[in-house]
Structure 1
Amino acid sequence: MPRITANGSWTSPIGAADVAAAGGTAQWLEVVDGETWWAQSRPAEGGRVALLRASGGAVTEVLPAPWNVRNRVHEYGGRPWVVVGDLLFFTHWDDQRVYAMDRTAGTVEPITPKPADTHGVRYGDLRAGLDGEVWAVRERSTGPRRADVARDLVALSPAGAQPRTLAATHHFLTSPQISPDGRRAAWLGWDHPAMPWDGTQLCVADIEPDGTFAAHRVLAGGPDVSVCQLDWETEDTLLALLDPEGWWNLHRVTLDGEITNLAPVPAELGGALWRIGSRWFAPLGGGRHAVLSSGRLAVLDENTATVSPVEEAAELVSWSPAFAVRDDTVVGVAAGAMSEGAVVQVDLRSGTITELARSEVNTAHLPDPAYLPTPRERTFRSRSGEDIHAYVYPPANPDHSAPADELTPYLVHVHGGPTGRAFGVLDLDFAYFTSRGIGVVAVNYGGSTGYGRRYRERLREQWGVVDVQDCVDVAEALVAEGIADPNRLAVRGGSAGGFTSAASMTTVRTYRAGTAQFPILDLLSWTGQGGETHDFESRYLDSLVGPLPQAQRRYEERSPINNTDALAGPVLFLQGLEDEICPPEQADRFVAALDGSGVPHAYLTFPGEQHGFRRAETIIAALEAELSFYGQVFGFDTPDVPTVELRS
């Protein structure tokens, strides 16, 4: 019989160390000589990204420590490795240079110059080019501000010659892809103030006899059309994901600019291009294409103009935009409602699913499924009559039950981006709380991807309003249904989600507590003009808040830093000290304003962490601090974690 225990104080087999062990996310997957290769982060090794391969039923490491296959292009990183012939090319985090490993001899040599300043030159989105070259996006710091950056497309020689510029058509670029006949190159480009999900251009140029690019032509895209992926189909046609009708669908684009939607569907087959080199589709042959339809594996058949889910893989509800095909087999990184992300292989002919490798957490770390929450997909209604999509994770623990008269405390989880989204997958971060009697609801508020351009653009010039209100409406709906305790609601999120959490705590009275991880707190400073963010997002607020200087008052009014005297309750801040996207200066100022205010608060900083926490020790400390924080605010005991000190 389960013991009657107050919510929050349930004993759980899921510790913060288990969550940290599960943080080894697989990414950047490719098929090389019939084998599946991928990059994978390792929290236990300080967040190092290893390169692995599955061969003969075993997983082996391609590059030993200390190689760290990661780069800083756009600060979120781009495709960090590619195999060309007998050479593996990869970017190394420590110095951001490109290296080549001879796959036979195992020797590794740098092929790009050492930059004068640490991380002053970065490379990303590596692709095979002409005659054994590697094509890449090069990013160079040009001044003292974080947003002082220039980019171009370059060819890198395996012999280590100076990089050769190919083109510099836009402020932001993806690496060019070479046509099957070697005569042309195609790439994506966009300029401030657009973000890639607002409007991009698909560019094509002839390759001159000396290997340089001729003047480019724009074949698709524009100010209000986003292209998120392209692939050459033949020497005269390309396949591309673009959204002229408001949904990322797969199109054929000819060199004379004719564009054909291969299967018009009101579904997102693409996504937000946060990391250049992401892939949402791959041709299977015969007019069939593997696609990700709102994150699920599907097959697009242009012969019948249909997009059909792969029923055998229905339990895998979220595929990363990094998959590949081999004949009629799809390999990728996928997760389900009760399964952590894993490298899997799906045979489309037989329906057989084979797990090639799980993330760094193995089945020994996962508890009995009875301790794991089953996410429930819900659609709520906003007070303005709009749909709000969310996933509810109720408490789950067979050893405990709450007193009959006790309502469940709930955490409203706000995803980042804000052009991101939550999926209904197993998340040990959530399970850490739900197994202790605390519910979680992950809200895909207006502005989230996965629901079409109109839903994304609900947030246009409304950041800090629509996101805040949608989360409030979901929280209050759970209260009205008798599911959540109105006196024990908290809001939590990181990055853009940290902004919404802080904005919620300073503008509404729904929540008793808030946690903000590496947040944005001062909107005016979080621009290229203000100098407290990186180049990629330095004009993002033009669309999210409004253009400057016209909208300056709006920036000031919505900035949590200017509303510290309106806090609804205690707050916890968690911040990496090497974060170039949401730098610690903002949290420093916010916390300084709270000292002596009487508002309970805590501020934990983590040396060596950038944007998002990658080190096991950081993940553990952050989770335990968050649990202790809620216990102190909501009034339940947390004897199994250190007490985080709240000052006021």
Structure 2
Amino acid sequence: MVKIAQFGSWESPLTAETVATAGVSPRWVDVHDGVVWWAESRPTEEGRVALMREGPDRTPVEVLAAPWNVRNRVHEYGGRPWTVLGDTVVFTNWADQRIYAYDGSGDPRPLTPMPARGHGLRYGDLSPGPGGTSVLCVRETVTGDRPTDVARDLVEVPLDGTGPRTLGASHHFMSGPRLSPDGTRLAWIGWDHPNMPWDGAELCVAEIGQPHRVLAGGPRESVCQAEWESPDSLLVLTDPDGWWNLFRVGLDGAAVNLAPCEEELGGPMWVLGGRWFAPLGGGRHAVLRSDRLAILDEKTGTVTDVDTDLTAWSSDLLAVDGVVVAAAGGPQREVAVVRLDLGTGVETVVNGQPHESLDPAYLPVPEHRVFTSDDGRKIPAFVYLPRNPGFAGPPEAVPPLLVHVHGGPTGKVSDVLKRDIAYFTSRGFGVVAVNYGGSAGYGRAFRESLNEQWGVVDVHDCATVAATLAEEGVVDGTRLAVRGGSAGGWTAAASMTSVSTYACATIMFPILDLTGWTSEGGETHDFESRYIEGLVGTLPEHADRYADRSPSNHVDRLAGPVLLLQGLEDEVCPPEQADRFVASLDGTGLPHAYLTFEGEQHGFRRASTVIAALEAELSFYGQVFGFTPPGVPVLELKS
């Protein structure tokens, strides 16, 4: 029998525990000698990243037991942390950031020295080196006490333990070192401040030990992946025409677009080591078209979607003998490591069932919609309505809405199943995930619509979507909330201090003070320390803009209560910003709460943190919107 209850107060089997134990999706998938390997997070093991492989009977086998944590801090977001050379796996370990080798017997042995200061040497984006006797990677060296005191170079790390050998450094940032098939040349991607890699990045090639040449890319062209096709040519994802397309580039720099299209076949390099395409042979290539798997055919110049219900593929794409391997998911399917035989259509889940499966009756079905801003811009979004077979709302009532803002801001949301969204929709909330101006996946012009407009375009796009759904009567316009983490936390906070759309906000590990979040301010890491120059403007010319848009300067304008959630080891959005913001809230009379979490960096990885954060968020909405959510502790609000 269906119970009638206020939206938001429904009981659901999707507890915070079921969300937390699912953890982060599998990542860093690869294939070696026909065997699939991958890394997966372990939320119940304090967020440790375990290295996994297929066993002889195709069941998952853990390669490295605790306390080994296959993760690194390059750019703070990390890079590909492992590779296999013959019978040896080479990996980075979080605790000391060193590279280790493990051949299946005894303990892993270190290949790089212990740094003089903690995490003072970091390695990432590992790939095989010459003759399978070494690895190529990016090395970061901490040179001082400021977050921006970091130098980088490309190094070769031999398996014999003779230590890293410097190969060179063309730019302040580099990724993707790849040895040519004949072993005579090295290719890599490089870029410099103030650019982010999606603004402009160059493809470099050099004979070993010689100066490099730039074959593609530039200040306003972004190379995001390059792989050798032969000793004389590379396959390259770059965007000279405003869309990441696949090119063949010769050593003379001559480039041919293999299938010109206004489609994004690449993506932003937030982490190092992504693969958005994989050659299939015969002039065909598996590619990702805005996360969806497709086939690019050089002969016809076409890109055609593959018929599968897996609509969101990770940038780990591999292809072996016509079989594509990657992590993928869909609207009703959580991300898993899969094999897809393109010839037969047969799909196999490789990593088994890593956590409790969910009853589809409680899972929301996303509706892809495109909203329109006042100035005519298109705003893509995914709308999730409440879904719970045991409950319905009161007659004539409509649900509250949570506006979910993705991070980046050069990120995106897709329609893959997300347990945290289902946690709320199964309790009677509507959720909308917005790809506001600046999001990836819609071409360079869409990304650059946020240039100098951060805190304006993102805020207005999200507010437009929320207001439109309220005007349509889909949701309750008096019970709108905005939530987000990192750059999404910025947009949530900026929304609460610049528009009157929302009743409250959940602000997670946010940016709150633009001036502090610069290389001069010293409150963020090197990778993003000049990102803000493109998003807001250069200093000192636009100092007033920095001050005017910073939520930390406008606590008196907050439109309603706020909940802040912060990791105490966050090097990207440090707790100092949230600390100052909350201190200025105390005594104002505005209800608020601030939860901090030991041992958490940027984003939450530990099950205990995810549980506490979700339950606090649900209690917070209940207090603001006027209902009592069952089964969660009451969050104490201060004023």
Output the TM-score relative to the length of structure 2: 0.99
- Name the amino acid aligned to 1:352: V
- 1:334-413 to 2 correspondences below 5 Å: 334-358=328-352, 360-363=354-357, 366=358, 368-413=359-404
How much does 1:323 deviate? 2.2
Partner residue in 1 for 2:541 = 550
Counterpart code for 1:374: V
Separation in structure 2 between the aligned mates of residue 106 and residue 304 of structure 1, nearest angstrom: 53
Amino acid at match of 1:319: W
Q: Identify the residue that residue 430 of structure 2 maps to in structure 1.
A: 439
Preserved CA contact (<8 Å) 1:51 1:61: yes
Instruction: Answer yes or no: is 1:279 the counterpart of 2:275.
Output: yes
- Of the three residues 456, 464, 469, the one matched with 2:460 is 469
Q: Which runs of 5+ in 2 are unaligned?
A: none
What amino acid is the match of 1:332?
A
CA distance, structure 1, for counterparts of residue 527 and residue 620 of structure 2: 34
* % identity of equivalent residues: 62
Give how far 1:300 is off.
0.6
Question: 1:359 Cα deviation (Å)?
Answer: 6.4
Q: Give 1:266 shift.
A: 1.0
Post-superposition Cα deviations, 1:331-358, rounded to whole Å, max 9, x if no partner, equal 1100111011111110000011111125
Distance 1:24 1:75 in 2: 17
Task: Sort the Cα spacing of 1:71 and 1:359 in 2 relative to 1 into closer, same or farther, 3 A.
Answer: farther
Find the residue that maps to 1:461 and give its secondary structure: coil
Q: Give the count of matched residue pairs.
A: 637
Asked whether the equivalents of residues 152 and 167 of structure 1 are also in contact (C-alpha less than 8 Å), the reply is: yes
Aligned twin of 1:108: 108
Instruction: Give the structure 2 partner of residue 167 of structure 1.
Output: 168
The answer to whether the Cα contact below 8 Å between 1:23 and 1:360 also exists between their aligned partners in 2 is no
Q: Is the 8 A contact 1:281 1:290 kept in 2?
A: yes
Opposite residue 18 of structure 2, the aligned amino acid is D
**Structure 1 residues 82-119: Cα deviation after superposition (integer angstroms, max 9, x where no partner):** 1112221100000000001124x354100100001111
- The residue number in structure 2 matching 1:257 is 253
The DSSP-based 3-state class of the residue aligned with 1:14 is: coil
Determine the structure 2 residue equivalent to 1:267.
263
Deviations 1:519-576 (A, max 9, x none): 0000000011100000000000010001111111111101000010100000000000
| 454, 478, 491: which one aligns with 2:469 | 478
- Cα deviation code 1:190-244 (max 9, x no counterpart): 000000000000000001xxxxx20000000001100000000000000010011
* 8 Å Cα contact 2:364-2:425 kept in structure 1: yes
Give the Cα separation in 2 of the matches to 1:643 and 1:54: 44
One-letter identity of the residue aligned with 2:150: V
Is contact 1:96-1:122 (8 Å) kept? yes
Counterpart pick for 1:585 among 560, 576, 581: 576
- Are positions 1:490 and 2:477 aligned together? no
Asked if the contact 2:454–2:535 (Cα under 8 Å) also holds between the matched residues in 1, the reply is yes
* 1:289 maps onto 2:289 in alignment: no
- Contact 1:5–1:400 (8 Å) recurs in 2: yes
What CA distance in whole angstroms lies between the structure 1 residues aligned with 2:311 and 2:213? Answer: 38
Q: Which residue, 451, 461, 476 being the options, matches 1:460? A: 451
Partner of 1:152: 153
Asked whether the 8 Å contact 1:21–1:360 carries over to 2, the reply is no
The aligned residue for residue 196 of structure 1 is 197
Q: Which residue of 2 aligns with 1:210?
A: none
After superposition, the C-alpha distances for 1:162-195 in whole angstroms (9 at most, x for unaligned) are 3111111100001410000001000000000000
What SS does structure 1 have at the residue aligned with 2:198? coil
Question: Contact 2:59–2:352 (CA<8 Å) still a contact in 1?
Answer: no
In 2: Cα distance, 1:601 partner to 1:148 partner:
36
CA distance in 2, matches of 1:350, 1:617: 43
* 2:17 match: 17
1:561 lines up with 2:557 in the alignment: no
Alignment map for 1:590-605 (pairs within 5 Å): 590-605=581-596
The amino acid across from 1:122 in the alignment is R
Q: 1:298 aligns with which of 267, 272, 294?
A: 294
Map Cα deviations across residues 124-152 of structure 1 (whole Å, 9 max, x no partner).
00111124111110001111111111000
C-alpha deviation, 1:33, in angstroms: 1.2
Distance between the aligned counterparts of 1:260 and 1:565, measured in 2? Answer: 56
Which residue is 2:71 aligned to? 70
Offset of 1:54 from its aligned partner?
1.8
RMSD of Structure 2 on Structure 1 (CA):
0.9
* Shift of residue 595, structure 1, vs aligned partner: 0.1
CA contact (8 A) 1:577 1:609 kept: yes
Contact 2:81 2:92 (8 Å CA) reproduced: yes
Q: Is the 8 A contact 2:176 2:226 kept in 1?
A: no
SS, match of residue 241 in structure 1: strand
The CA distance in 1 between the partners of 2:401 and 2:461, in whole Å, is: 16
Cα distance in 1, alignment partners of residues 258 and 234 from structure 2: 12
Give the match for residue 237 of structure 1: 233
Matched with 1:506 is: 497
d(CA) in 2 for partners of 1:134 and 1:400? 56
Following the alignment from structure 2 to structure 1, what is the Cα–Cα distance between the partners of residues 47 and 613? Answer: 15
Question: Following the alignment from structure 1 to structure 2, what is the Cα–Cα distance between the partners of residues 408 and 230?
Answer: 47
- 1:644: how far off? 0.7
Distance 1:618 1:376, change over 3 A: same
Q: Quote the Cα distance in structure 2 between the aligned partners of 1:39 and 1:359.
A: 15
Residue identity in the other structure for 2:322? D
Superposition deviation, residue 424 in structure 1: 1.1
What is the SS of the residue equivalent to 2:476? strand
Name the CA distance, whole Å, in 1 between partners of 2:597 and 2:630.
24
Aligned to 2:120: 120
Secondary structure of 2:477's partner? Answer: strand
Hey, what's the Cα distance between the residues in 2 that align with 1:271 and 1:162?
33
Equivalent position of 1:176 in the other structure: 177
Q: CA deviation at 1:362?
A: 3.3
Letter paired with 2:91: F
| Partner residue, 1:617 | 608
User: Residues 306 and 284 of structure 1: is their aligned pair in 2 closer, same or farther, counting only changes over 3 Å?
Assistant: same
* TM-superposition CA deviations, 1:423-480 (whole Å, max 9, x none): 0121110010000001100000000001111110110000000000000000000011
Aligned to 1:35: 35
CA distance in 2, matches of 1:251, 1:419: 23
Q: Distance in 1 between matches of 2:365 and 2:14?
A: 16
Decide whether the 8 Å contact of 2:186 with 2:207 is kept in 1. Answer: yes
Q: Distance in 2 between matches of 1:19 and 1:459?
A: 32
Question: Is 1:26–1:359's contact at 8 Å kept on the other side of the alignment?
Answer: no
Instruction: Work out whether residues 11 and 630 of structure 2, in 8 Å CA contact, stay in contact via their aligned partners in 1.
Output: no
Change in CA separation of 1:417 and 1:594 when aligned onto 2, cut-off 3 Å = same
Question: Structure 1, residues 289-344: CA drift from partner, whole Å, max 9, x if none?
Answer: 11011101111111111111111x2x111001012111100011001110111111
Match of 2:223?
A: 227
In structure 2, how many angstroms separate the alpha carbons of the residues matched to 1:57 and 1:376?
36
Paired residue secondary structure (1:459)? coil
Alpha-carbon separation, structure 2, partners of 1:106 and 1:84: 18
4+ runs of 1 displaced by more than 6 Å?
Answer: none
Instruction: Measure the CA separation in 2 of the matches of 1:150 and 1:613.
Output: 28
